Structure 1
């Protein structure tokens, strides 16, 4: 329900939405890119950043960088695309704030992530595990999971509900829009359940909140950062080149 299959590859529907909205002069940041392989779907200049990655696309500029302290000037990008990343970081607020910092004044951010309350899960954990309070899940993990999965849960599993996500996003942006079902209009082969859910979301308000609370795939479009202009400094301008060089020099492999 969260991906479309085109040419044998799974592509997130939000990417089709982004492709429709950008212009050829826009600059797009893929935040938490993993490998940046889908940026070549966009007919504009793109930059893909992560703490580690495998370069699979010749159409994007790869940059080693930490999402908590992005090595870019403020007001740099027309779009920030952050897909399937927030659920792997412990401090959502800082990543969102950094995304807003590097965003141009009239830019837009797209955030996508799996829903903690959904009955389906994308990660190597039992389907019910994300329903547990984290302290309990951490305590019982060694008795129920293999060592690799225990380590993943402790270091890389920070899934959110839509309620928690909205708190983080609304703190940084004044315009936060639930985008999940809208992107199906841009997907060339949307899932049947997604099309049905979109109709319910649009026409049955009493069901809308529950549907969004439990739908597996979450997508938000964020605009108009709340951060004051004086809090969006360009102090990193002179350090940008050095910062990128240091990150590349210290990159793994």
Structure 2
């Protein structure tokens, strides 16, 4: 498994985020500020990357081993905020009367659609890089197979977290501040429709993440064999 250049990844994500915010600023000045809530959701999507970066750097320097578990738990609580951004596309339907007037699609629909897609892409990419960092940590601590088991579990819990956030309006911090509500929501969400939705989102996350993984690792270009030949981990 290929190591990340943290500086380059951070600059990429920071540049993409600034571009996303810039596009939103231009669009909001031309239309309205209805989508201001995206700024908060986008901030929440960055939090798991901060946790994973801390764990990644600590493990790489072989310090702070006792902090990896709490960082991992915190990361897992906030990770669903990244894929959650996709569900904000719902508001395009809710505002249909503004976008379609007299049977014609207004130009602001395209402005808002592109803005929402850009926020979604930026948030997902940030979340997936955070997952890659934690998979790298798990791989160094154990092996590649176990790291993929972690990925499957993270995507499954991420899909369930999106369900709790969008359908049941649960926030990441409610796990710590309102456990009674959490237990009630978990009980209410244990039905066939909710489980199918969670599984569907989990599969989508896994498909996209796997694509990113193989792009980062050279699509099987032989790097792993060279690593094993040197006696290192892949």
Give the alignment's TM-score, normalised by structure 1: 0.27
Bigger strand share: 1
CA radius of gyration, larger in:
2
Bigger helix share: 2
